[in-house]
Each structure stands twice: as structure tokens, then as C-alpha cells.
């Protein structure tokens, strides 16, 4: 009779030996020469080659991978603790942006966390045909950003038809073009002009347009999505917005906003309101101009007692009173892109999303936006010219140099 300890040693150290009766174990060795396919309780019982004895019992030569209670029974220490630590660490990292002292670094951490939550998601694709006229291109951009129920942190993928450029440079070009349209205007006719401006006024004093059709068309909702989407994906932000508008945009009371005369985009209204500034005597003609404007906004005419009060009321209405619906719609667009939490929790990061014009007067993206890149339809009779794919490769090198290599040069200028 075989000793039990000998059976155990055989099972651990090597393949099975022949039995004491001297019977040939060849047939059994052929049966177990490869990995066993015998299943115990519906699962594979053996991780390696089988050491099954003649008696039909399985001796496992290495730790089993058999599932217990629906979970893998691992040979080493459980990974459950590691998973819990990873979850706790991720939760902590999501709050780190609130604690980081440097606002730019905090904004970058917040932006990267938004992107990481959707990095495996379905890409958000957009195609712009450069062979279309400018009005058709602008309509394509507007249609893209008016789409409802979109997670704007999804991977962004753009294609420029009529241009051989690809990659991140194309994405940045689309984002830059969209934001630039907010201040330079869309080439669509929604009124009596060929260009539709969403923001009007002087640099650093831009305020939303008072056109009611823009509100009814949800174009300020679209504008908020553009700004938030560009910020998330590292594109340019919207410069030059009036501090008074930003104050109200962040949900603060309109009564506490500091409004300057330059914030009034309508020059005729500005000249009339300016008549009330100071203590100089107002002529009868000027009083009539002030009265006409005041009555159109349901305000009284000027007197010696209400002069300064009327100045503030007229200025307030010209800048904020006529644009409050536009500002609220713009705020909704920002919330759609999930950047609102950053603006609320980190007021010091607001200038990063709405910088002054002087802060973005000269940057890499500005240079890129003013370069005419080679296009597919270009024809050149010069036999010595380079083919299009060579031109595009050179253009890509130039893009990268401007975006990366010229940062230090521009900062010193």
C-alpha cells in the first residue's frame, strides 16, 4: 500500500509515477500530459499540468484559480485593499485643485481631472470644410455647439476638409476659431448687417450684444459652451470681457458691480450719460437728450437733486440692465461644460478663463491664427515647388516650433 506522504511528495515535485502493482502508467500519462480540462463545480480546478492519480483524485501542483463565491481566489495577497486605496486616492486628488495655491496649477489639475473621467469615452467629432464659404463654416460651428446633452470633456477629434493637417494642431485651430468668432463676429446675417457680433465694445470692456434675436436663438448659451469647451481642451479663452459683466456672471449682485463709462458700447448713449458726470451746468439741449434717453428706459429726467443718482442708473441699465438675460444664458452654457465649479470655488482662476486683452496680445495661438497654411486646392505652375505632403510636413514642424519653442521668446518680448 502506498504511503500517503509519498503520494503528496509525488504530487508536488513532479509527474506521477507508476503504481506499486507494476502496471504501466503510460495510458494515464498520456491522459494528463497537457493541461487538464476537467472542471470542478463548473470551473477549472488546475492551473498547471494535472497530477491526477489513478484513483481519480486531483492533486493541484500550484495555487488554484478556482472562483469562490463568484470572485477569483488569488494565490497572493488580495487586491481588494489596493482597489480601496486607489478609490480613496482618486477622491482625494479630485479635491486637490481646491487646495493648490497657484491658480493656474489648480485650473490645470481641474481640467485634467475632467478629461480623465471621459478619456475612454466616445470621441466628440467635428468636421469643418475649408472649401465652403465663411457663412457656411460659421453655421457648422454654431450647429456643433448648439447640440444638447453633450459631455464636452469627451475626447475631441477634428477634421479639416481641404487641409492635410491632422492631430492636436487641428483641434486647437477649431477651438481658436470658435472663440475668435465671439469677439470678431460670425459671418451670418441675423439682422441688418453681414456680421453678427455677440460681444460689443472696447477691449477689456466687452459686453454682450443687446440684440434680442441672439437670446431667442440661444447663441449666448452656445457661447458659454464654446468658452468652457476651449478651456477644458487647452484652447484659448475669451479675453476682454468687462469686469462688471464677469461680476454678474459669477452670480454676484448687480448692485455691487463696478461699472465704468467705457463699458457702455453704444457711443451715442455713452455721450448722453457722460453729460451727467461732474458738476458742470447742463444746457437745455443736453437736458432734452438726457430726458429722451431716460424716458426710453423708464427713468425720470434730470434735476439738481438726482443728477448723480441718474448717472449711475443710466449707466447701470446701459451695461447690465439690458444684458442680464444674455449673461444668464452665457452662464448656463458654462455650466453645461462643467467648468462652473472651478469658477465658484476658485475666484482667483477666473482671470485665466476671462483674461485681459493685454495678457493675450501676443501668444503662440495668435501667430498661428494669422498664418495662411497650404491647402489641397492650391496650384502652382512652378516645377521646383515642393509637393503638398512636404509642405504640410514643414507646416507641422513650424506649428510645433511656434507652440513650444517660441514660448520663451514671446515671454521676453
Degrees, nearest 5: CA angle 260-264-265: 140
Nearest to 222 by CA among 186, 168, 172, 253: 186
Distance between CA atoms of residues 120 and 408, nearest Å? 34
Distance in angstroms (rounded) separating the CA atoms of residues 49 and 402: 61
Give helix then strand counts, H and E, for the chain: 18, 8
Query: Cα separation of 199 and 185, whole Å?
Result: 8
CB under 8 Å to 93, separation ≥6 — which residues? 109, 113
Place of cell 477691449: 203
User: How far is the CA of 330 from the CAs of 184, 188, 214, 309, in angstroms?
Assistant: 17, 20, 11, 29
Q: What is the pLDDT of residue 93?
A: 52
Please say whether the beta carbons of 308 and 273 come within 8 A. Answer: no
Q: What is the pLDDT of residue 154?
A: 95
Extract the C-alpha cell encoding 34: 497537457
The pLDDT, as a whole number, for residue 4 is 41
Q: What count of Cα atoms within 13 Å lies in the side-chain half-sphere of residue 145?
A: 30
| Enclosing H/E stretch for 72 | strand 71-72
C-alpha cell at 255: 448692485
The rounded distance, in Å, linking the Cα atoms of 130 and 170 is 12
Question: pLDDT below 50 — which residues of the chain?
Answer: 1-82, 84-92, 410, 412-413
The domain spans of the chain are 4-72, 116-254+334-369, 257-321
Q: Which pLDDT score is estimated for 275? A: 95
349: closest CA among 231, 256, 261? 231
Between CA 343 and CA 350 the distance in angstroms is: 6
Within 10 angstroms of residue 63's Cβ, the number of other Cβ atoms is 12
Which helix (H) or strand (E) segment is 5 a member of? Answer: helix 4-13
Burial of 122 (0-12, 13-18, 19+ CB in 10 A): exposed
Q: Residue 200: which of 248, 264, 122 has the closest Cα?
A: 264
Q: Are strands 43-44 and 67-68 parallel, antiparallel or unpaired?
A: unpaired
Distance CA 231, CA 237 (A): 6
Q: H-type helices in 40-121, by residue range?
A: 80-99, 103-117
Cα separation, 351 vs 262, in Å, equals 20
**The pLDDT value given to residue 161:** 86
| Contact criterion met (CB below 8 Å) for 284 and 300 | no
The top-level CATH class assigned to 116-254+334-369 is alpha beta
pLDDT of residue 94: 58
Amino acid at each position: 500500500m502506498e504511503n500517503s506522504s509519498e503520494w503528496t511528495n509525488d504530487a508536488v515535485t513532479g509527474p506521477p509515477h507508476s503504481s506499486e502493482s507494476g502496471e504501466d502508467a503510460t495510458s494515464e500519462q498520456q491522459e494528463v500530459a497537457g493541461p487538464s480540462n476537467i472542471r470542478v463545480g463548473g470551473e477549472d480546478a488546475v492551473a498547471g499540468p494535472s497530477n491526477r492519480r489513478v484513483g481519480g483524485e486531483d492533486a493541484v501542483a500550484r495555487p488554484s484559480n478556482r472562483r469562490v463565491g463568484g470572485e477569483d481566489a488569488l494565490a497572493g495577497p488580495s487586491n481588494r485593499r489596493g482597489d480601496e486605496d486607489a478609490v480613496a486616492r482618486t477622491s482625494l486628488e479630485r479635491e486637490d485643485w481646491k487646495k493648490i495655491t497657484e491658480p493656474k496649477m489648480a485650473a490645470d489639475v481641474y481640467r485634467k481631472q475632467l478629461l480623465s473621467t471621459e478619456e475612454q469615452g466616445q470621441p466628440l467629432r467635428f468636421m469643418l470644410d475649408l472649401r465652403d464659404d465663411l457663412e457656411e463654416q460659421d453655421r457648422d460651428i454654431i450647429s456643433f455647439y448648439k447640440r444638447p446633452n453633450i459631455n464636452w470633456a469627451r475626447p475631441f477629434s477634428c477634421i479639416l476638409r481641404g487641409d492635410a493637417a491632422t492631430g492636436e494642431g487641428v483641434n486647437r485651430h477649431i477651438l481658436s476659431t470658435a472663440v475668435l468668432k465671439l469677439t470678431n463676429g460670425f459671418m451670418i446675417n441675423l439682422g441688418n448687417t453681414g456680421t453678427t457680433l455677440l460681444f460689443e465694445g472696447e477691449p477689456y470692456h466687452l459686453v454682450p450684444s443687446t440684440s434680442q434675436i441672439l437670446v431667442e436663438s440661444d447663441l449666448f448659451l452656445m457661447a458659454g459652451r464654446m468658452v468652457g469647451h476651449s478651456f477644458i481642451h487647452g484652447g484659448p479663452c475669451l479675453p476682454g470681457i468687462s469686469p462688471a459683466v464677469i461680476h454678474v456672471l459669477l452670480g454676484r449682485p448687480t448692485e455691487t458691480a463696478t461699472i465704468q463709462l467705457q463699458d457702455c458700447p453704444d457711443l451715442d448713449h455713452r455721450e448722453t450719460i457722460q453729460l451727467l458726470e461732474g458738476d458742470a451746468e447742463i444746457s437745455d439741449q443736453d437736458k432734452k437728450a438726457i430726458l429722451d434717453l431716460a424716458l426710453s428706459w423708464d427713468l425720470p429726467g434730470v434735476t439738481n437733486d438726482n443728477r448723480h443718482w441718474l448717472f449711475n442708473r443710466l449707466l447701470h441699465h446701459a451695461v447690465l440692465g439690458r444684458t442680464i438675460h444674455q449673461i444668464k444664458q452665457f452662464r448656463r452654457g458654462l455650466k453645461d461644460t462643467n467648468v462652473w465649479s472651478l469658477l465658484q470655488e476658485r475666484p482667483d482662476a477666473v482671470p485665466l478663463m476671462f483674461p485681459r486683452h493685454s495678457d493675450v496680445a501676443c501668444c503662440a495661438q495668435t501667430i498661428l491664427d494669422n498664418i495662411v497654411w497650404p491647402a489641397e486646392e492650391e496650384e502652382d505652375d512652378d516645377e521646383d515647388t515642393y509637393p503638398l505632403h512636404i509642405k504640410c510636413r514643414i507646416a507641422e514642424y513650424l506649428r510645433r516650433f511656434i507652440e513650444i519653442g517660441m514660448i520663451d521668446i514671446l515671454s521676453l518680448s
